[in-house]
Structure 1
Amino acid sequence: MPVRHGLLALLSTGPRHGYQLRIEFEASTGATWPLNIGQVYTTLSRLERDGLVKPGESDEQGRVVYMITEAGREETARWFSTPVVHSDRPRDELVIKLAMAVAARNVDVAEVIHRQRTATMRALQQLTMAKRAATAGAAQRLVLDSMIFQAEAEQRWLDHCEAVLEEER
């Protein structure tokens, strides 16, 4: 639940209204995971329901400012102290696609790999340019570095897939 915990982490440094949370979340992640303002307020409602945040006074523009509760601080500390395990991550669509392409037997798997490699290279180039142009701090750089490393790992995995399929021929 990265949005839920991300908002709690931001609130742990001080009260904010939804728009501020959206802007700071996007800035912290290098705008790689844009948030819909509706998603922010829906998440805040759930956090309030769960006793992790509470609404405070409205600001001069009538926006409700939210504050983290003690239970919210405990939840944030638990999140930061708990490693992310692979089974907690969503299924990898590319892995599923290639496995199904091989199983289907009537799909040109080499073409599927080629198209993915091209798309991944394009994404890698865009991420590298974004990293060069980035002016934000360490948080944005870490996010971009992670995405670059993931794209590089995907390229290596695609190479491996080609080698395995070549062995099977």
Structure 2
Amino acid sequence: MSVKHALLALLEQQPMYGYQLRAEFEQRTGTAWPLNVGQVYTTLTRLERDGLALAAGEDDEGHVVYRITDAGRDEVATWFTTPVARTQPPRDELAIKLALAVTVPGVDVGTVIQQQRSATMAALQDYTRLKRRAAGGPDATGATGAPGGADERADLAWSLVLDSLVFGAEAEIRWLDHCEARLRRAASEREAAGARPDEAPSPSRPEAGQPAGGSPGRSRR
């Protein structure tokens, strides 16, 4: 997540100090990616160093207010019009965990998948309840939606973030189902080849009744 560009986009609307920026960010994106106020001020210092923002004095309460520069506006415009690169995707902890689980002896990969699926399903249910609240409908506990008077654009922004979380959770569940099917198919193929379910097939191992070299033209699966 580009905190730098998110803060610049907010500063483009009006000058703000750190706590205001954090509040605005969380209002538009919910609590999906909480910001530490220290991270906000560290980023503001870097933006000022790079000439993208500058301190514009203090307000009546002593808060240092920052405003965007012309270079910062150009940076925001470039950010909004440049697609998010997929050439170097962020590290996916779950994908890394499963990749290692299938190669480390003694790990019950099926259990890893089942536990993750349960956790992701629970998260998906939470996101669905949040969507109902954001839409003003009753959730599972009978509570009503977001309080009236909230900015319509902020509500739309939070709704889009929720959609992203829902779609991501649904995709993760489908991928876990796919992984489970692949593991079952691989286990069946090993059994059919005469190996134990937890034993990788050996190309040099002859089938029963065959010489060590096997029969010409016959390959093992």
Aligned to 1:108: 108
For residues 132 and 87 of structure 1, what CA distance do their matches in structure 2 show? 35
**TM superposition outliers: structure 1 runs of 4+ over 3 Å:** none
Aligned to 1:28: 28
Shift of 1:106: 1.5
Q: Tell me how many residue pairs correspond in the alignment.
A: 169
Aligned to 1:152: 170
Structure richer in helix, relative to its length:
1
Shift of 1:88: 4.1
Give per-residue Cα distances to partners, 1:59-102, cap 9 Å, x unaligned: 11100110000110011111111101223431111000000000
Q: Which amino acid aligns with 1:155?
A: I
What TM-score, normalized to structure 2? 0.74
Shift of 1:161: 0.2
Shift of 1:105: 2.9
For residues 76 and 95 of structure 2, what CA distance do their matches in structure 1 show? 32
Aligned to 2:87, the other structure's residue is in SS state helix
Q: Which amino acid aligns with 1:106?
A: G
Does residue 1:141 correspond to 2:141, yes or no? no
Larger Rg computed on CA atoms? 2
Does residue 1:165 correspond to 2:186, yes or no? no
Identity of aligned residues (%): 61
Q: Which amino acid aligns with 1:145?
A: D
Shift of 1:131: 1.4
Q: Which amino acid aligns with 1:158?
A: L
Shift of 1:127: 0.8
For residues 29 and 39 of structure 1, what CA distance do their matches in structure 2 show? 17
Aligned to 1:13, the other structure's residue is in SS state coil
For residues 89 and 24 of structure 1, what CA distance do their matches in structure 2 show? 27
For residues 25 and 54 of structure 1, what CA distance do their matches in structure 2 show? 19
What TM-score, normalized to structure 1? 0.97
Unaligned segments of structure 2, at least 5 residues: 135-145, 147-153, 188-221
Aligned to 1:78: 78
For residues 40 and 26 of structure 1, what CA distance do their matches in structure 2 show? 12
Aligned to 2:38: 38
Unaligned segments of structure 1, at least 5 residues: none
Task: Indicate conservation of the 8 Å contact 1:54/1:67, yes or no.
Answer: yes
Shift of 1:13: 0.7
Shift of 1:57: 1.9
